[in-house]
Chains A and B, each alone.
Chain A
Amino acid sequence: GENVEQHPSTLSVQEGDSAVIKCTYSDSASNYFPWYKQELGKRPQLIIDIRSNVGEKKDQRIAVTLNKTAKHFSLHITETQPEDSAVYFCAGRKGSNYKLTFGKGTLLTVNP
């Protein structure tokens, strides 16, 4: 089955700096890659996603890039703010199957 690895497990940045979280996947048939943000005690919330026919997608301060050849994708957060502090999860899914396989998560701390 699909295996998604996520790095780093923890990330601490200063307010205003950029943060980058990277994920790799094993199944070359995977074609959909969402990112979720989970605040403490809350539900995972979708923040951005990308499909395999696109190399990059941006939404305000958040961007995701996908390298299909290398089988990795990354989340980029620019101008970080304290409210960006949360656990971020990447996931992958094959088109023939609706199962999402999640990475282990990255705890992002933005220090004021």
Chain B
Amino acid sequence: DAGVIQSPRHEVTEMGQEVTLRCKPISGHDYLFWYRQTMMRGLELLIYFNNNVPIDDSGMPEDRFSAKMPNASFSTLKIQPSEPRDSAVYFCASSLGTGSQYFGPGTRLLVL
């Protein structure tokens, strides 16, 4: 059974460019979470969805960040325009109801 899938695994871009991160949750899971991990701030929840509907986006740092979940098997996190301070590892995780959250391998983003 495949776990959470994320792409790309690594992304290097220049300041001002648009970045799109992708996630496929575990089949059957109804919750999807986007996290950001940095040395300074640790693991932070950005936004989470339930049945494709955004429930809490209070962790999204600013309007440059947006997330969508057009169907149960796909979600995107977009940064436009990107800035060097957005450099981090972005994780997607999914869960079934109140069950355990399972993380994807992450996307390591570097904005130059």
Task: Name the CB-closest residue of A to B45.
Answer: A99
Task: Give the CA-CA distance A98 to B98 in the complex, in Å.
Answer: 7
Q: Given A44-B91, A105-B42, is A100 in contact with B106 using a C-beta cutoff of 8 Å?
A: no
Q: Is the interface of A mostly helix, strand, loop or mixed?
A: loop
**Size bracket of the B interface:** 20 to 34
Q: Which B residues fall within an 8 A CB radius of A?
A: 31, 33, 42-45, 48, 50, 55-56, 91, 95, 98, 100-106
Task: Give the CA-CA distance A103 to B43 in the complex, in Å.
Answer: 8
Which of B31, B56, B103: most chain A Cβ within 10 A?
B103
Q: Given A98-B48, A102-B42, A102-B43, is A43 in contact with B95 using a C-beta cutoff of 8 Å?
A: no
Q: Does A92 contact B (CB under 8 A)?
A: no
Task: Give the CA-CA distance A102 to B98 in the complex, in Å.
Answer: 16
Task: Give the CA-CA distance A44 to B45 in the complex, in Å.
Answer: 14
Candidates A45, A49, A98; contact of B103 at CB < 8 Å:
A45
Between A and B, how many residue pairs show CB distances below 8 Å? 43
Which B residues lie within 8 Å of A32 (CB)?
Answer: 98
Candidates A34, A42, A104; contact of B100 at CB < 8 Å:
A34
Which of B45, B56, B104, B105: most chain A Cβ within 10 A?
B45
Q: Would you give the 0/1 interface string for A43-87, flagging 1 where the beta carbon is closer than 8 Å to chain B?
A: 111100100000000000000000000000000000000000000
Q: Which A residues fall within an 8 A CB radius of B?
A: 32, 34, 36, 42-46, 49, 89, 95, 97-105
Task: Give the CA-CA distance A42 to B37 in the complex, in Å.
Answer: 12
Q: Given A43-B91, A43-B106, A44-B43, is A98 in contact with B55 using a C-beta cutoff of 8 Å?
A: yes
Task: Name the CB-closest residue of A to B92.
Answer: A43
Candidates A42, A89, A98; contact of B43 at CB < 8 Å:
A89
9 CB-based A-B contacts, threshold 8 Å: A34-B101, A43-B104, A43-B105, A89-B42, A89-B43, A98-B48, A98-B98, A100-B101, A102-B43
Which A residues lie within 8 Å of B50 (CB)?
Answer: 98
A46-B100, A100-B33 are known; give 9 further A-B pairs, CB within 8 A. Answer: A34-B101, A42-B105, A43-B91, A46-B102, A89-B42, A89-B43, A99-B56, A101-B45, A104-B42
